Amino acid sequence: MEVPKHVAIIMDGNGRWATNKGLKRSEGHLEGSKTLEKIALHAMDMGIEVLSVFAFSTDNFKRDKEEVDYLMNLFIKMFKTKFDKIAKKGIKVVFSGRKNNLNNKVMDAMDNMEVKTKDNQRGILNICLNYGGQEEIIDASLKLALDINKGLNIDSFKREDFYKYLYQDLPPIDLLIRTGGELRISNFMLYQLSYSEFYFTNTYFPDFDKSEFNKALFMYQNRDRRYGGINEKNN
């Protein structure tokens, strides 16, 4: 069975999960962080090489200060201590996103996680934090422009060559999962999603367990990926 190399998840529905249970939205984020830890370990067990997750978008700063502060403190707590299991299990953690607007404590916790796991080989967890897909393309284009100014010859520049200008040089996304019932991309990894298969589920992220993840993998394995071409065996 073919396993996708790079899976991405838009972890949506934490707030509604909590509200439906009469809890505060923050409880949903806390539960979501526990789910993320389990799913990351499971994904690597399934042979997936890269898992990208949308933890906080550049637009999430529009939320109430209380919720933003809660999430930032949760990130600090998770990266400083709670993600130890991820580090010990050999997963390398990297981050994608802009560094502006993030306070020093959050950036220190992110650095700490990256340094602690930099030599890990088992798989990569790419956490998109203060991230926007259009912003990533703009930031990459600016880096490319600098190289062009320095004399880079772009006559034979190919779409694959653009990846090294993105926040992380990762393979294209094979499978995108969005939990929480919405049917949109919300400015997530636009460049890397070009030929990705999409899987949408109504399940809220805190309830997205291993068996839910396996359903998405099963769907992927039954899709016919043609990349704009024709699959001979179906004609």
Nearer to ligand FPP, 97 or 165 (CB): 97
Report the distance separating Cα 18 and Cα 207, nearest Å: 11
Question: How far, in Å, are 53, 76, 89, 115, 232 from residue 132 at the CA level?
Answer: 12, 21, 29, 24, 38
Residue 169 annotated in active site: no
CB 55 to ligand FPP: min, Å: 4
Q: Which of 12, 14, 130, 174 is catalytic?
A: 12
Is residue 60 annotated as a catalytic residue, yes or no?
Answer: yes
Q: Which residues bind ligand FPP (CB under 6 A)?
A: 11-16, 29, 32-33, 36, 55, 60, 74-75, 78, 127, 180, 205
Q: Judged by CB, which is closer to ligand FPP: 78, or 94? A: 78
What CA–CA distance (Å, rounded) separates 34 from 30? 7
Residue nearest ligand FPP by beta-carbon distance: 15
CA atoms of 213 and 210, how far apart (whole Å)? 5
57: region left, alpha or beta (phi > 0 left; psi from -120 to 50 alpha):
beta
Query: Cβ closer to ligand FPP: 4 or 28?
Result: 28
- Residue of 45, 59, 60, 174 with catalytic role: 60
Min dist CB 58 to ligand FPP, Å, is 12
Smallest distance from ligand FPP to CB 91, Å? 13
Q: Bridge partners of 157?
A: none
* Cβ-based nearer residue to ligand FPP, 54 or 165: 54
> Considering the complex, what minimum distance in angstroms separates the CB of residue 138 from ligand FPP?
22
Amino acid at position 168, single letter: Q
Distance CA(186)–CA(164), nearest Å, equals: 23
Q: What ranges make up the beta strands (E) of the chain?
A: 6-10, 50-57, 91-96, 123-131, 175-178, 197-200
Active site residues: 12, 60
